[in-house]
Structures are given as C-alpha cells and as structure tokens.
Amino acid sequence: MSTPLLKVKNLKKYFVIKTNLIGQPLLHLKAVDDVSFELEEGKTLGVVGESGCGKTTMGRAILRLWDVDGGEVIFNGDNIESITKKQMRKYRTQMQIIFQDPYSSLPPRMNVGSIIAEAVHVHGIIGGKPIGFYELVIDPCVKVIDRFIVQPIAKFVVKPAVKGIKFVVHSLRYKLCKKYKAKFDEQKAEQERLEEERRNRPLQETIVQSEENQEKKEVVSQGSQKIIDETKGLKRPYFRCSTYTKNLKRYTIEVMRECGLQAHFYERYPNEFSGGQRQRICIARALAVKPRLVVCDEPVSALDVSIQAQIINLLEDLQENFNLSFIFISHDLSVVHHISNDVAVMYLGSIVEKGPKISMFKNPLHPYTQALLDAVPEPDPRAKKEKNFLKGDVPTPINMPKGCKFCTRCEHVLNICHEIRPELVEVEPEHFVACHLHFDYFALKGEEISQEEKERLYKKFEKIAIQEELPKTEEEKLIDEALKSEEN
C-alpha cells in the first residue's frame, strides 16, 4: 500500500465556552473530538453528517486555519501541527480550501484577475520575485516622498529658480549682443522685404500653393485617422508593463480557462457574476497555486442542480488532469456517492463509520449511517421501503453522554452503550465502525469479566415510561360505550 498524502491522528478542536475569574476554561464545546483517517494522493474522501457535527471545523483545523488542541496532521510525511507559522508558509500552496459561500468568500473591491493572481504573486508561483520587504515598505515610502516632498520642491522652488536663471542669461546675452544691433536691424529689414514680396505675389501662384498645402493637410489627416482607428478601444496604460506582469496575467488567464472562465472576465468584479461563475472563480483561486490537497467545504450546496452537475464535473476533470486529492464535505449523499472514493460519517465531532464508497452505501453498519441513507428520497413514487427515521434530540456538544454519543437516538441501544464509548474498529476489509453491535469490546481490549456482567451489558436497554392515567372526558366515555356496544 502506498504512503498516504494526508494522515490525521486523534485530531481535537475545542472551543472555550466559559472561564473562571483567572481565565482558566471551565466548559468546552467539543467541535472535533478524536478524529482519525488517511487520504491517498489522487483520491477523494467524502465527509457527511448533520449540520453542526464538525465537518467544516475539521477541514479548517487540517489546514491550520484554526489551531488544534490535540492530535497530529501529517502531510506528505511532515507533521504540520508542530511547526511555526513561518515554516507553515511553504505548505500553503500545497493545501487549499474552496469555501461554502461563493458570495461572501470573494472580496468585492478586487477584480477577478487580482483575486486569482494575488496568491500567485505572493508565493512566486510563476518564478518571479515574490513580494517582500521592498514591495511592502520601500516602494510605498518612495511614492509618498515623491508626492509630498519631491514634487512640491520641484514646483515651488526648482521651477522659479530655473526661470530666474533663464532671465539672467537672456539679459546678459542681450547686453553682449547690443553692439551687433545694426546687423540685427539688417536681418529684420530683409525679413520685412521678403514678407512684402510674398504679399505682392500673383493670385494664381497663391492659389496653387494653398492647394498644395491643403493636399498635405488631407494626407496628414488621413494618417492620423488611420492611427486612431487602429488604436480605438485600447486603454492607455498608466505604466509600462514588465515581463513579470505580463507572465502573471498570462498565467492567470490560463487558470481561468481551465476552470471554464473566459479571458475577458479578467477585469470584471464578483458582483457581475452568477453563483456558479463565482464558485468557478473560487476554484480557480484555489488551483492557481498548484495545490496537492483541496478541502471542498460544501462547494455545491448553494447552487442549482444543473450548476451542481457542472461544478462536480469540473472538479473531476481537474482531479484527473492535476492528480488532486479532495476532502469533499457535503450533505448530499448522491453527490458524495458520485465523486468520492471513500466516505466518512461524522456525528457530534467524531467519525462513527468510514470505508470504501461501495461498502458504505451497500452495507451500512452504524445505525446513524443507516438513518442517513433512509432519509434520501426515492425517485420512484411506487417504490416502498421501510425507513428508519431518527427520533429524539441531538445531545449538546458541551455536555456529551458518558458512553456512545448516539445512544440517546438509537433504536438498538444496549446497556453498554450508556457506560462505555465504542472505538473505531475494522469489522470488514477497510470498513471501520464505532458501534457495540458489531464487535465485542472486552474481547478487543483483552479484558475478562463475568458472564453475568457481560450479559447485562449486552442486553438491550429498556426505557421505562411511566404514564399516568388521566380522567376521561364525557365524549371519550360515550365513544368507548359505543365501541363496546358494537362489539357485543
């Protein structure tokens, strides 16, 4: 078996709800509680479960968007939970996320090209110089100094000084050349004579010369109009684009086309697109840095069915072309069945069952997994199937039950379920389940107990319901009498 790309061991993420006077935590909300799984490169793990079971929190904790409270996340052989934020920077390009809401996950004041190209520029994906101290500090300081110091000095000090120097130079020149004034007078008289001759020319010669000038003007006008027609519609750049800027834009447009976005969308803003197009922008932003692992946090839940099919097909094509690994979080079991290789079912922050897709959908072992599959509507109205709907309320993640987390809603609950929490055990090849109905807990642990105690623990838990008999109304008494008379 090949080495997995991602290996999660006993991952925990708790949120503090209440603290004492000195700031020590008293109550925790256990959003992710002891989660473990593996993901191979080029495969997809589908994660399903009810709202609030910790799916999104698990995905964010894996990417270290939130600091975890326990466990290990081993990516490509390195434990990324024990490294600093500076060391984590090199893993940011290899691990990306597609957020659930395409409307709020895109900055409204940036165009599509800037949104996609930002991470590419920061991490130096195309080989250019990544943003650093010069771009962040030196360049803005130079611009401020130029605008508020250099330009005012040039306008109010340098220009008047230059004008004064020019005036002095011209004055000296005039004084030095005063002795040659006679010569200048002769030249001036010659110019006046030539001007007088021009005025006294014959009318026909003047007309011919004016026609020649008109033809020259028309030629110049036609050339200018041709240049205007050729450059019509082109925006005048404010600065000369460098080779790096051109390569960055070219690479961004290539990524956009890979994700089904046209090149002229580069200058548009997110509010000009539909939900499906915005989700494509989110996918392009994630794939622009060439990741190996992508966490898809319900990427199609806010889209129409037809758009969902387009996005799912796009993700499959991208996975095939770039050998990507997906953690696909969703509520829709049909979508998970279509795109996933393995499936994990979460309940109250823990994985209760995981295994290959075919085994999970054909032979679900945990009662919660069976209830989720029974909740899927049948497309055939004539098909009749016994469905196992869940009853009862979900326990609060602040105060978990002592034993199995699902014991308050399970129909097959045993006495042991209220006392001992089951572990995730392999009951079939690569099929794991955390349920006392499918394995002997004490045999697994190697513990010996008496037969009577074992029978008591594995006996079905009986709920004692005390019903008080309420006095019947007169109408109910009349109905009972009528039913008795009919029976007689």
Structure confidence at residue 444 (pLDDT): 80
User: Is residue 135 pLDDT above 70, yes or no?
Assistant: no
User: Is residue 464 pLDDT above 60, yes or no?
Assistant: no
Q: For the residues 60-80, what does the mean pLDDT come to?
A: 92
Q: For the residues 230-258, what does the mean pLDDT come to?
A: 67
> Please, what's the b/e burial string for 338-354 (b: 16 or more CB within 10 A of its CB; e: otherwise)?
ebbbbbbbbbbbbbbbb
Structure confidence at residue 402 (pLDDT): 85
Q: What is the tens place of the pLDDT at every residue in 379-405?
A: 777 766 666 777 777 888 888 888 899
Q: What is the tens place of the pLDDT at every residue in 399-458?
A: 888 889 998 888 888 989 988 899 999 998 899 999 999 888 888 877 888 888 888 888
Q: For the residues 204-231, what does the mean pLDDT come to?
A: 53
Q: For the residues 262-276, what does the mean pLDDT come to?
A: 92
Structure confidence at residue 234 (pLDDT): 39
294 and 94 in contact (C-beta within 8 Å)? Answer: no
343 and 360 in contact (C-beta within 8 Å)? Answer: yes
Structure confidence at residue 359 (pLDDT): 92
Structure confidence at residue 238 (pLDDT): 33
- At residue 356 the predicted structure's pLDDT band, cuts being 50, 70 and 90, is very high
Query: How big is the CA angle at 95 (ends 247 and 302), to the nearest 5 degrees?
Result: 95
Q: What is the tens place of the pLDDT at every residue in 289-324?
A: 999 999 999 988 878 888 888 899 999 999 999 999
Residue predicted with more confidence, 389 or 145: 145
Distance of CA 28 to the CA centre of its chain: 28
Instruction: Please give the backbone phi and psi of residue 4, each rounded to the nearest 5 degrees, phi first.
Output: -70, 145
User: Is residue 116 pLDDT above 90, yes or no?
Assistant: yes
Residue predicted with more confidence, 78 or 484: 78
Q: What is the tens place of the pLDDT at every residue in 150-189?
A: 888 888 888 888 888 888 887 777 676 666 666 667 777 7
Residue predicted with more confidence, 202 or 177: 177
Q: For the residues 176-205, what does the mean pLDDT come to?
A: 68
Q: Two tokens at 222? A: 């036609």
Structure confidence at residue 193 (pLDDT): 77
Structure confidence at residue 231 (pLDDT): 42
43-47, 145-149, 361-365: range with lowest mean pLDDT: 145-149
Q: What is the tens place of the pLDDT at every residue in 11-50?
A: 999 999 888 888 888 888 899 999 999 999 999 999 999 8
Domain borders along the chain are 6-128+244-367, 133-230
User: The pTM is what?
Assistant: 0.70
Q: For the residues 181-200, what does the mean pLDDT come to?
A: 72
SS3 316: helix
Strand blocks (E) in 265-410: 293-297, 325-329, 342-347, 350-356
**How much is the mean pLDDT over the chain?**
81
Q: Two tokens at 84? A: 């600093």
Structure confidence at residue 232 (pLDDT): 42
Q: Two tokens at 482? A: 């009528």
User: Is residue 470 pLDDT above 50, yes or no?
Assistant: no
User: Is residue 239 pLDDT above 80, yes or no?
Assistant: no
Q: For the residues 101-130, what does the mean pLDDT come to?
A: 85
Structure confidence at residue 301 (pLDDT): 84
Structure confidence at residue 216 (pLDDT): 55
Structure confidence at residue 26 (pLDDT): 83
What pairing do the DSSP bridges indicate for beta strands 350-356 and 425-428? unpaired
SS3 32: strand
Entry field: residues in the chain = 488
Looking up tokens 């109205």 gives: 381
What CATH number does the domain located at 6-128+244-367 have? 3.40.50.300
Structure confidence at residue 115 (pLDDT): 93
